[in-house]
Structure 1
Amino acid sequence: MRTVPAREMGGWRVLGQVWGAWRRGPGVRAVPSASGFGTEAGHQLRPRGSRNRSRPRGDQPFPGLLQLENLGRKELVDVLRAAVVDQKGKPGELTLVSVLPELSQSLGLRDQELQVVQASGKETSGLVLLSSCPQTASRLQKFFIHSRRAQRPTATYCAVTDGIPATSEGKIQAALKLEHVDGVDLVIPVKSPSRKDFQEGVKRTLSHFRVLAMGSGCALVQLQPLTAFPSQLQVHMLLQLCPVLGDHAYSARVGTVLGQRFLLPAESTKPQRQVLDEALLRRLCLTPSQAAQLPLHLHLHCLHLPGVRPREAPMKLLAPLPPYFSRTLQCLGLPSLPAGKRGVGGGMNLPSDLNE
């Protein structure tokens, strides 16, 4: 892993690729850094070689996955520092937020504090956007909020699902609530919510999905959330009876009888390790015990950001897939993730109704 110094351009930093999943708290999985963000509107993060990738497949079933128990505070700071691809402009718990002060010192920011502006969920791979400038962070947050209100997606995720959606693309709308069950926060869909439900924390959520490819009973799906809610994309795919591969929190809610899938009551279904059929395990070259540790195959692939200055064209960041994600696609005979168009303000190929 090699660190390439990023350039000072307005107080914000893009943390490169977040790979794999923490088992305890938010995690970061790093890609070798690359400078040059801001020199063109479309910027592709390109992974370089890794020693771990040369290991035999049996020894490394999920290449690129970093686990918390293998890292100390210094190692995590080093991973984060190496993952900064450019810059512009809970006590005692080892998480991304907890090491931001050390990361700030490691990057030579002195008294400037880093804060998370945009990030995927704790089990999700992809881009993380940090800022050391309060004004820039505020501007970016307003941009994301305004985009959501205008139903303009700024983030594109890719997922591998266990199962194939009934339609090739569409919108998923659901009312969701967060409940604390047996010491765990879980998201539960609410049918026909009342006004009182919304007053008590139920939120309307919306995502657009598109099937990019399918094979071996699985699908590569593009997801664009138009609202923000914890585990929104995982639950939305669950409602399509196609849980995300590696979803050990919600996949148990999908039952099967005579080959037909159906939803089990969320309130009475406890989280458990995802169970995959024997044919899929063979395709993935995994044992049942390895499948129980399968990382969540949900990746924040693209972020759209405003220009550095008000009149500058918007920019797009692209993060390559983690090695274990690419390996899964190869095993399933699915194509690699499209890089998308490069250039000013575009490249997401949105359906017309999302651009209005």
Structure 2
Amino acid sequence: MSGFRTLGCVSRSWWLESGVGSAFKTTGFGTEARHQRQPQGSSKWLGTPGNQPFPGLLQPECLSREKLVDVLRASVVDQKGPLVTLNKPQGLPVTGKPGELTLLSVLPELSQSLGLGERELQVVQASEKESSGLVLLSSCPQTASRLQKFFTQSRRAQRPIATYWAVTDGIPTTSEGKIQAALKLEHIDGVNLVVPVKSPSRKDILEGVKRTLSYFRVVATGSGCALVQLRPLTVFPSQLQVHMALQLCPVLGDHRYSTCVGTVLGQRFLLPAESIKPQRQVLDEALIRCLHLTPSQVAQLPLHLHLHCLHLPGTRPRDAPIELLAPLPPYFSRTLRCLGLRQQ
């Protein structure tokens, strides 16, 4: 990692308090923090740590366009040349239907707010709606095209460029490995679900089934949960949530795919995705107590999946690669402290 130029920032408060600092040092994430800009009055919709169960959780439905632009401006972790890097709040969709409040819908106002004038931003890379973390924007179409080509080439060469952090309900049976699964998107009982396909045929592949691959590594464990580093090599909707459910360790706050995991006499097993409907994640009482939550609060538990790091090429051929970093959301940090996660 020492050969990378680091952009962005990493918050150290959660890192020191949760007891997993040494784990992060070994992966090269022990960088100094840089304060993010906070818009005046932002605590009204961002929340403050205190005793809140989910500090910092965004509620997009409560925001006006102007306030969302303020939130996104405060979420900028780096702005260099044509590239702008945001730390996207959990729950904010990148795209949506006409008239919906999304990241894409306010990019013209954000461009003006960041002093880019007529150079409108476009999305190059982004975490999904239910996950938090890095969003890479560019005000230069040529730069965006160059980066998209780099992402495609990296996938073909099986070089992961994105690193996610996840908290899982359950601990994987092995400390590291890879998860391979053929996935397809199905419309089941009015809901779009990603389901695994066993032994896909060539016809299945032609009809939208995709072979997916992710690497994982358990960084820390505690209270029956794990802090897991995930590095996807393919791109598919909800890929990481489904991959962890297939490991019988659904991501904390996954109210869609955690129901694929059943339990009998303390033993977990996988249910057919086609036979169930998404519902609120069910946690055992001991874990709920560790998280200091009420049953009603468990139903509002946000997805603990965060796009923490992106590796990009240098601006010029001889430049060192760039490492973009985004700090964890406050509710994610609170969960780590509550679970007492410690390096293995």
- Go from structure 1 to structure 2 and tell me whether the alpha carbon gap of 1:94 and 1:45 turns closer, same or farther (over 3 Å shift): farther
* Match in the other structure for 2:48: 53
Cα distance between partner residues in 1 of 2:144 and 2:245: 33
Stretch of structure 1 that moved more, 308-317 or 78-87: 78-87
Q: Give 1:91's match in structure 2, choosing from 95, 98, 118.
A: 98
Q: Assess if the C-alpha contact under 8 Å between 1:305 and 1:314 holds in 2.
A: yes
User: 1:280 maps to what in 2?
Assistant: 287
Any conservation in 1 of the 2:9–2:327 contact (CA below 8 Å)? no
Correspondence 1:1-356 to 2 at 5 A: 46-47=34-35, 52-53=47-48, 55=50, 57=51, 60-84=52-76, 85-89=78-82, 90-335=97-342
Instruction: Name the CA shift for 1:15/1:180 in 2 (closer, same or farther; >3 Å).
Output: farther
Q: Counterparts of 2:220 and 2:246 in 1: how far apart (Å)? A: 19
Q: Deviations over 1:211-270 (max 9, x none)?
A: 011111100100000011111000000000000000011001100001110111111110
* Alignment deviations for residues 290-346 of structure 1 (CA, whole Å, 9 cap, x no partner): 01000100011111011112221101012111111111011110149xxxxxxxxxx
- Structure 2, gaps ≥5 residues long: 1-6, 11-29, 83-96
2:252 alignment partner, SS class: coil
State the 1:79 CA deviation.
Answer: 1.2
What is the CA–CA distance in structure 1 between the aligned matches of 2:187 and 2:8, rounded to whole Å? 31
Tell me, what secondary structure is at the counterpart of 1:325? Answer: helix
Aligned-residue offset at 1:15: 9.0
Match of 1:29 in 2: none
Contact preservation (8 Å) 2:9, 2:31: no
Equivalent pair of 2:162/2:310 in contact (CA under 8 Å): yes
Secondary structure of 1:219's aligned partner: strand
Q: Cα 1:44–1:308, aligned 2, differ >3 Å: closer, same or farther?
A: farther
Contact 2:313 2:320 in 1 (8 A): yes
Q: Identity percentage over the alignment?
A: 78
With normalisation by structure 2, the TM-score equals 0.82
Aligned to 2:20: none
The verdict on how the C-alpha distance between 1:203 and 1:166 changes in structure 2, with shifts beyond 3 A counting, is: same
Separation of aligned partners in 2, 1:300 and 1:335: 21
How far apart are residue 69 of structure 1 and its match? 2.4
What's the offset of the Cα at 1:105? 2.1
1:193–1:131 distance in 2 versus 1, CA, 3 Å: same
TM-aligned CA deviation for residue 16 of structure 1: 8.1
- Sort the Cα spacing of 1:330 and 1:176 in 2 relative to 1 into closer, same or farther, 3 A: same
Contact 1:155 1:303 in 2 (8 A): yes
> Contact 2:9–2:34 (CA<8 Å) still a contact in 1?
no
Q: Deviations over 1:52-93 (max 9, x none)?
A: 4353x1xx2100111112211100011112222213224210
Q: After TM superposition, give the deviation of residue 44 of structure 1 in Å.
A: 5.8
TM-aligned CA deviation for residue 107 of structure 1: 2.0
Taking the aligned partners of 2:114 and 2:177, their CA distance within structure 1 comes to: 43
Aligned residue pairs, count: 297
CA displacement at 1:47 relative to structure 2: 4.9
User: Hey, what's the Cα distance between the residues in 1 that align with 2:9 and 2:134?
Assistant: 6
Structure 1 CA distance, aligned partners of 2:263 and 2:148? Answer: 42
Give me the whole-angstrom Cα distance separating, in 2, the residues matched to 1:16 and 1:86.
12
Distance 2:60 2:132 in 1: 15
Deviates more, 1:206-215 or 1:327-336: 327-336
Q: Distance in 2 between matches of 1:302 and 1:180?
A: 32
CA RMSD, 1 decimal: 2.1
Tell me how far apart the structure 1 counterparts of residues 159 and 281 of structure 2 sit (CA, whole Å). Answer: 33
TM-score by length of 1: 0.79
CA contact (8 A) 2:9 2:32 kept: no
| 8 Å CA contact retained: 2:8, 2:324 | no
Contact conserved, 2:165 with 2:307, CA < 8 A, in 1?
yes
Distance in 1, Cα, partners of 2:215 & 2:34:
27
